[in-house]
Amino acid sequence: MKYKSWKILTIVLLLPCCLAIAAYIGIGFYYRDTYTFGTYINGVYATGQTTGKIDSVLKEPLEEYVLEITDLEGNIEEIRGGEVDMSFHYEEGLQEIIENQKTFLWGYSFWHPSVYEITGRIQFDHDKAADTVKNLNVYKKAFNDKNPQVKIMKGKDGYTLRDDTKDAIDTEKLVRLVLASMEDGETELNLAQTDCLKEYKKSSQMEETLRLFQKIDKMQSTHMKYVMNGRELTLQKKEIADFIATDEKGEFLLDSLGDLTVREERVEAFVTRLSDTFDTLGKEVEWKKAGGGSVLVDNATFGCAVDKEAEIQQITTSVLYGIDQEREPFLLPSEADIGTGEIGDTYIEVDMSEQMLYYYTDGVLYLKTDVVTGATNRGRGTPEKVCYVYGKQRNRTLRGADYAAFVNYWMPVYGNIGIHDAKWRKEFGGDIYKNGGSHGCINLPKEAAEKIYDKVEVGTPVVMYY
């Protein structure tokens, strides 16, 4: 009887323990596919939940995500997360927690909760993403370029090269690059910084076209700029392109060595414009008079004229060989050293209405004197001209049909017209010139003529006007 009582007592005491152990082990088995007691993941209480359940709770839709794709020409297109069902998922991190948790030590978590912070991974519908890429303009353009060309084209600014083999995008690479960028969460994809191009093997004809364009571009990129007397003229790229000779079909005309040639008539047309820009000889000059106001005077001899033949030759050579230049235009030679024909600050001015002569040197009035010019009422008026002192002579006798006059200082300025002293005159200035004037020369008092003669240089401009 006593033995039975002990046996019953033992069973009563051990049974709860066995049941508790069995229950603890059973719960441990339960936690093999769920999270153990006291598990917190990214702030979410995960005890007893599966990875799928917690992933659905943590999942973050990325509808506002935008990937900007910049093509090789700088055009930008976009793909948005909402178009491809993009979201953040945490399955990998969640599964790793499941695999590493000690399920049969779940009781320990009563006193020591397990807290985790995991990062997610972007997921999206790859089929939708690929279809979205195929609807982009950059993809359509690349997909349609089935027959690449290398050709030279004429535009408004000169010749350009179309080389489809150089910037042809590989559509398969494009799709892979876009999907990889989305998987990494990138917001920008610049195709110019990626390996997205097709690898073409150029034909011999393509290579020949490329070599020809190098010659064309060297020619049309020649820099030629003219600067003189405050005026400028630049030979534009499109103008040089027009110099290049072609036949009626637009084919380039090459010489026996295979080099480009030029159309001389186009070069001549530019040189005419060059002449119109810089020539001063034979053109009217607006002159500001010493006494105030202005007058238009014919630039008869003191002026410059472009040497057209020399320019045609030089421009042709420079363009053919791509020689850059910035210079003054070539000028026709003159009888005196007058440089570029700019009047400047040293000159002689003869106001025939006022019968006054002004001599300026470096912008400062050196001499002012009364004069007598040609007799206007007798048809011998001094002409209005811009000319220059083209000689100097002492003690000369001036001869005409009805006169012979000795002068001490002779300075010819325009044909037989010159500046000289006139010892036979006692008065200068006023209205003497109208009836008692010269045969066209500018008569001066001897003292004034001597001062001018001693200082003036051959080539000094002379402006004569009424």
What one-character-per-residue DSSP string does 357-416 give?
A: EEEEETTEEEEEEE-B-B-GGGT-PPP-EEEE----EEEEEEEETTEEEEEEEEEEEETT
Cβ 41 vs Cβ 56: under 8 Å: no
Contacts of 53-59 with CB under 8 Å at 24 or more apart are 54/90, 54/94, 55/89, 55/90, 55/91, 55/94, 58/88, 58/90, 58/94, 58/120, 59/87, 59/88, 59/89, 59/90
**Distance of alpha carbon 364 from alpha carbon 70, whole angstroms:** 66
Alpha helices for 48-189 (secondary structure H): 51-58, 91-100, 126-134, 137-144, 171-183
pTM of this prediction?
Answer: 0.62
Q: Are 338 and 452 in contact (CB under 8 A)?
A: no
Handedness of CA 375, 379, 384, 390 (dihedral sign): negative
Longest CA–CA separation in the chain, Å? 184
CATH number, domain 347-465, options 3.90.1150.10, 2.40.440.10, 3.40.50.720, 1.10.10.10: 2.40.440.10
DSSP three-state, residue 151: strand
Q: Rounded to an integer, what distance in angstroms lies between the CA atom of residue 295 and that of residue 386?
A: 12
CA distance linking residue 348 with residue 225, whole number of Å: 33
Structure tokens at 459: 């080539």
Give me the residues paired with residue 246 across strands: 252
- Residue 333 one-letter amino acid: P
Positions of the chain with pLDDT lower than 70, given as ranges: 1-31, 103-109, 144-146, 334-341
Angstrom distance (rounded) from CA 348 to CA 252: 55
What span, in angstroms and rounded, lies between the C-alpha atoms of 119 and 91? 10
**Strands (E) located in 119-274:** 121-123, 150-155, 158-163, 188-190, 224-228, 231-235
347 phi and psi, to 5 degrees?
A: -165, 165
Task: Express each pLDDT in 294-350 by its tens digit.
Answer: 999 988 888 889 999 999 999 999 999 999 999 999 998 865 555 666 788 999 999
| 347-465 has the same fold as 222-279+305-327 | no
| pLDDT value for 372 | 98
Q: Is 459 within 8 Å of 336 (Cβ atoms)?
A: yes
* β-strands 442-444, 417-421 pairing: parallel
The residue with tokens 């935008």 is: 66
- Sorted by where each begins, the domain ranges of the chain are 2-60+89-122, 222-279+305-327, 347-465
Q: How far is CA 457 from the centre of its chain?
A: 47
Q: Give me the pLDDT at residue 238, please.
A: 95
DSSP letters of 342-359? --TT-EEEEETTTTEEEE
Strand-pair category, 114-116 with 87-89 = unpaired
CB atoms within 10 A of CB 332: 13
CATH number of the 222-279+305-327 domain: 3.10.20.800
